[in-house]
Structure 1
Amino acid sequence: MAIPPPSTGALVVFGLIAVTVVLFVTERLPADITAIALLVTMVILQPWTQISPQEAISGFSNAATITIVAMYILSSGIEQTGIVTHLGRQVGEYTAGSRTKLLAATIGITGPIAGIINNTPVVAVFIPMVTDLADQSRISPSKLLIPLSYAAMLGGTLTLIGTATNIVASDLSADLINHPFSMFEFTPLGILILLVGAIYLMTIGQYLLPERILAADLTDEFELADYLVKVTVSQSSPLVGETIEEALSERVYDVDVLQITRGDRLFLAEETDQEIEVRDILTVRGDENAISAFAAGESLRVLRKAPVTELELAPPAGPGTLVETIIPAESSLIGQSLATARLRERYAATVLAIRRGEEIFHDHLSGPTLQEGDGFLLHATDSALELLAERGELLITEVAHTSALTEPEPLDRRAVALALSIIVGVIAVAALNLLPIVIAALGGVVAMVVTGVIRPAEAYDSVNWEVIFLLAGIIPLGLAMQETGGATFLGSIIVEYGAVFPAVVVLGLFYLLTGLLADVITPVASVVLTMPIAVDAALGIGAEPFAFVLAVTFAASTAFMTPVGYQTNLMVYSPGGYRFIDYIRVGAPLQLLLTVVTTLGIVALWGV
């Protein structure tokens, strides 16, 4: 059978898809800006794309988009009660230094929780706990953080509200085949996938995981031995009588003074106005040439046999500490440099090193453009630590020699009871079809605000607006695929050349294709692009369309093979010191395994 040629409109849409995918992969623009640019372009090219202005902005009023906004707020309400953190504290008591127990507890707790709470905040809460427990047990955090991310992703397949992708897929399924997902419709398959994934991570996976970070000492972890030194101030030094701020502002050296030691007294450079005195010992960060120039120019003597350790910079009773952080997706620091971010002025915190995956930057730190997932090692005051946690521009993953991450705060039992009751109510109302999920979720938001579980300002701050704008911009692309006949054209190609294969093989190929797309663009974009084609292909070969909808949905939630495919993968990239290849080594076998398991599971439960 000859395949009719695609329409001009379909070719235009295919071109827009190609450009969009390139921009997503290269990250020349933020993903949300790319999506909005796509939206605008589709309207400009309306004669070909068939997308009117009203259709272009329909993504903002789409039920899936509104539901996801509500779920971010509900998840934040649960998180702020401290119940997730409290559960994490119990892990330390259970594991008692055993790597197997710690890995099992990480997977066993994260997966089920991610089925009812957005998995991004779950991973954000657990990263510092897992890292801290790994240090206490002398286990490399690299052995635990990828499993943490993968378990959260797998847990998202348990319920309709487990991930934003599920909600978008449900809305598309309703439009394409008039079959939205119910709350627990695919839970049996989600349980199977979570169990298979957990067994893989506990067995084969743990042997494929690297040990990129071996040391618990943060100065060793960030390879700072050659970049931290002590210098003593001589009587002839022009620094005598000046404050640290005056000394650094009047001279051009690529160094940072971190603290002053005067006898048994310690002054933190970020907060002290003490004048430098003869015989003071200054702790300095910089490369060898910069420190040598600083010492020669200011009559300072370098103390080569006095190494600077974590304990030197973060003594248990000292005024400052070392803090490892990462830049989350919603941070305003993304796209800035350290020079424009001015962390020292804003937070009284000095950046000692920047880690991007396995690469660590020590020199000229003010130059690189900051990216999501970058890790910082900060020398900071205790007040800076509180400010960092409050503002959320940096996610704290580890704190040296402090009780800040190890002392649990008392649970507000009233808030916990209210938040859990509201979540259970939302799930029950949606599961019993008493109200649509979007209305139930919005009602839950109102209940959380009215009862004081979350304040209105916190509710707005909890939403990942990048994801929302990405959704709103990408949803009309699926509509354009349908209206121009692009989805039908691609589906007919698959029908023509896939007719030699059984339907179950075609189903598995769609799973694999969607998963590979999700690895390089975003899960939501992969669903929007692939689902209309999958449905048309299923109808063309006489298969069950809902089976293909489920394959696409589940595949998009298992983007294991890159750090950029899923946000939680990027969150653990720096704290684990991972390389890009680590995700392929551990994720590719799991993705192939789940291609088989999920495909056969769909066939067994729903037919094909």
Structure 2
Amino acid sequence: MTYEQIFLFCLLGIVFAFLVWGRIRYDLVAFAALIIAVVGGVVDAHDAFIGFGHEAVVIIALVLIVSRAMMNAGAVELISRFVLSTGRSLSSHIGLMAVVGAGLSAVINNVAALVMLMTLDIEAAKKARRPVSRSLMPLSFATILGGMITLIGTPPNIVVSEFRNRALGDSYSMFDFSPVGLVCAAAGIAFVALFGWRLIPNAGQADVEEEGDAGLFVAEAGVKEKSKALGKPVSDLYPLADEHDVTILGLVRRGKRLPGFAAGEEVRKSDHLILEGDPKSIEAFIGAAELDAPGAEKHGGLRGQSLVLIEAIVPDSARMVGRTALDLRLLYRRGVTLLGVSRQGKRFRERVRKLPIRAGDVVLLLGPESRVADAAEWLGVLPLAEKSHTVIQRGKAFFTMGVFAAAVASSVMGFVPLVIALAAAVAIYALFNVVSAREVYESVEWPVIVLLASLIPLGLALEDSGGTRLIAEGILSLTGSLPAWAILTILMVVTMTLSDFLNNVATALIAAPVGLSVANGLDVSPDPFLMAVAVAASCAFLTPIGHKNNTIIMGPGGYRFGDYWRMGLPLELLIIAVAVPAILFFWPL
């Protein structure tokens, strides 16, 4: 092997290790690797930042903005009347939500599709008095499956299409992915609706209570001068806490958490009780014990009519990730209190305002309704309560969908390239205030953009150095005299496994050149192998880290890391079983 090959293999191995470890943001890992590659001489300095102008990167950014416009226009309300019904069986509900989710994912980003439908699914679970965990994972998987149907449904399709354009001089069109994608989506939806949800374990999953709470929160409440708790041992408050379904976890005094549950400690003024419960129960207990929420004096009291409590999911692109409420100065900057945090049923000893927030957490925000909505948007969190969504412009729904349909049609008919059509749609949305100037920038998931733009030069360097050809030769030598369809299956299995633990964009960037080299080595058409990479890179069902949708549902569904593979493993096997013959039928060798 050459110096360039050895350097790049070692560098990419370290990158993948850090991505699996997950303690450092993936965009920082990728950008640091790019700089190291430039310093090491394997990437030319003049080519270091060509990824930021790459067409695939621009298309992904534009799709995210279009998705935001569709959300602002109230697409959820147009379909809610067909989705929310307490008379349907669980299989029927999951099947309907899965079909709707897959359909939306085909035309907008699949993360946006999940966010739009998740609130409806939680509301349906509340009305049917059943665990939301039964339907939330099937919905997430369905939106991932639906993204495979079109070019813009999921980033791996865009990456593979642009790679084909660079390698073969022609990219895939909007609906080239549809035949195989529809077969995979149909089979996957049938599985999750009829059998898959039965495989989700009950242990550790959050049930939906009457008010539709997604889980238990750990929160704080201050002891004021006239509180009923004043002068009593903490244990004397247990009956009142039990009455309101709240657990008292401990006591904070002078900014420090006392050891254990502090059951024998006498409550003093300015102490803070650590509480665990659902939002309504915590609020009721605070009122019954005459306690104060942190920052209540700034809000005008917990019982102020203008105050609201909202639950919001923290995606990995949120401003809150890795930071505390104190770091963000949330109360002083935005007039909103971080009242509680739900982290998959885990308890923690840190004070709520000093707790670093993680992706997948569900946070409980308290404040005036207008301020809470603004703070949620500023923090980048995803509110579960419909009343927190203040930007819906219902009168522009059909206009927004019409503009998008016209953009897609103009691209399909060859009038303008897809990137230009989407850019024109975004410009129209901004001109007619469907998305504000601020939302145009906030809609883009910049960590994903930096990841993709940083890995593109590394992928090009690996290909130019002969690294991808070396990998392909290794695969061919190991598979020996196996037929081409068997090698294609092996490529799918390897790619799908990588995607379960790495970002699907990173997986597609590395696997697509390998697939092309394998096809060239077999002297067959490259399209089946590129399609196999696109399908496999999108199908990350085994872990909550393989796809952002799986991370988003982890907190609200009360899922554990090991819950995903129970339904995800048979689903991945099913996708391989139906995708291979479908690929070979629609894209012959």
TM range (shorter): 0.7 to 0.9
Query: Is this contact kept in 2: 1:232–1:300, CA < 8 A?
Result: no
Equivalent position of 1:213 in the other structure = 206
Does the C-alpha gap of structure 1 residues 416 and 223 become closer, same or farther in structure 2, counting only changes over 3 Å?
A: closer
CA-to-aligned-CA distance 1:338-380 (integer Å, 9 cap, x gap)? 3323444445544454333343436533444322222223444
Equivalent position of 1:25 in the other structure = 20
Equivalent position of 2:188 in the other structure = 197
Deviation of 1:136 after TM superposition, in Å, equals 1.8
Deviation of 1:87 after TM superposition, in Å, equals 1.7
The reply on whether 1:73 has 2:65 as its aligned counterpart is yes
The reply on whether 1:108 has 2:109 as its aligned counterpart is no
Aligned-partner Cα distance in 1 for 2:374–2:548: 24
Does the C-alpha gap of structure 1 residues 432 and 299 become closer, same or farther in structure 2, counting only changes over 3 Å?
A: closer
Equivalent position of 2:394 in the other structure = 412
Equivalent position of 1:387 in the other structure = 374
The reply on whether 1:588 has 2:572 as its aligned counterpart is no
Aligned-partner Cα distance in 2 for 1:298–1:43: 56
Q: Which amino acid aligns with 2:183?
A: L
Of 126, 132, 151, the residue aligned with 1:141 is 132
Deviation of 1:573 after TM superposition, in Å, equals 0.7
Does the C-alpha gap of structure 1 residues 254 and 64 become closer, same or farther in structure 2, counting only changes over 3 Å?
A: same
Of 464, 468, 480, the residue aligned with 1:487 is 468
Equivalent position of 1:88 in the other structure = 80
Q: CA RMSD in A?
A: 3.4
Of 305, 310, 329, the residue aligned with 2:316 is 329
The reply on whether 1:150 has 2:141 as its aligned counterpart is yes
Deviates more, 1:103-112 or 1:356-365: 356-365
> Normalised by the size of structure 2, how large is the TM-score?
0.85
Corresponding residue SS for 1:584:
helix
Aligned-partner Cα distance in 1 for 2:472–2:573: 23
Equivalent position of 2:37 in the other structure = 42
Query: Is this contact kept in 1: 2:472–2:515, CA < 8 A?
Result: yes
The reply on whether 1:169 has 2:172 as its aligned counterpart is no
Aligned-partner Cα distance in 1 for 2:272–2:487: 72
Q: Which amino acid aligns with 2:254?
A: V
Deviates more, 1:315-324 or 1:502-511: 315-324
How does 1:59-458 map onto structure 2 within 5 Å? 59-92=51-84, 94-96=85-87, 98-211=89-202, 212-216=205-209, 222-223=215-216, 233=226, 252=254, 289=261, 293=265, 295-296=267-268, 309=281, 312=284, 319=305, 320-361=307-348, 364-397=351-384, 399=385, 404=387, 412-413=394-395, 415-458=396-439
Aligned-partner Cα distance in 1 for 2:72–2:209: 29
Q: Which amino acid aligns with 1:157?
A: M
CA-to-aligned-CA distance 1:126-159 (integer Å, 9 cap, x gap)? 2222112211211111111111211111110111
CA-to-aligned-CA distance 1:465-489 (integer Å, 9 cap, x gap)? 1111111001112101111111111
Query: Is this contact kept in 2: 1:115–1:161, CA < 8 A?
Result: yes
CA-to-aligned-CA distance 1:525-571 (integer Å, 9 cap, x gap)? 00111111111111112232111000001111111111111111111
Q: Which amino acid aligns with 1:475?
A: I
Corresponding residue SS for 1:156:
helix
Q: How many residues align?
A: 549
Aligned-partner Cα distance in 1 for 2:283–2:24: 41
Corresponding residue SS for 2:24:
coil
Aligned-partner Cα distance in 2 for 1:463–1:409: 17
Q: Which amino acid aligns with 2:497?
A: L
Q: Which amino acid aligns with 1:172?
A: F
Does the C-alpha gap of structure 1 residues 410 and 98 become closer, same or farther in structure 2, counting only changes over 3 Å?
A: farther
Aligned-partner Cα distance in 2 for 1:420–1:23: 40
Of 559, 564, 571, the residue aligned with 1:578 is 559
Query: Is this contact kept in 1: 2:125–2:212, CA < 8 A?
Result: no
Deviation of 1:14 after TM superposition, in Å, equals 0.3
Deviation of 1:95 after TM superposition, in Å, equals 4.4
Deviation of 1:513 after TM superposition, in Å, equals 0.9
Query: Is this contact kept in 2: 1:75–1:117, CA < 8 A?
Result: yes
Does the C-alpha gap of structure 1 residues 193 and 308 become closer, same or farther in structure 2, counting only changes over 3 Å?
A: closer
5+ residue gaps, structure 1, are 1-5, 240-249, 256-285, 302-306
Q: Which amino acid aligns with 2:364?
A: L
Does the C-alpha gap of structure 1 residues 11 and 147 become closer, same or farther in structure 2, counting only changes over 3 Å?
A: same
Query: Is this contact kept in 1: 2:225–2:269, CA < 8 A?
Result: no
CA-to-aligned-CA distance 1:158-215 (integer Å, 9 cap, x gap)? 1111112211110011122334111111212111111101111012211012341124
Aligned-partner Cα distance in 1 for 2:272–2:404: 62
Q: Which amino acid aligns with 1:412?
A: R
Query: Is this contact kept in 1: 2:221–2:272, CA < 8 A?
Result: no
5+ residue gaps, structure 2, are 233-251, 274-278, 288-301
Aligned-partner Cα distance in 1 for 2:219–2:173: 58
Computing the radius of gyration from Cα coordinates, the structure with the larger value is: 1
Deviates more, 1:228-237 or 1:21-30: 228-237
Aligned-partner Cα distance in 1 for 2:362–2:268: 32
The reply on whether 1:599 has 2:580 as its aligned counterpart is yes
Query: Is this contact kept in 2: 1:127–1:145, CA < 8 A?
Result: yes
Corresponding residue SS for 1:488:
helix
Corresponding residue SS for 1:433:
coil
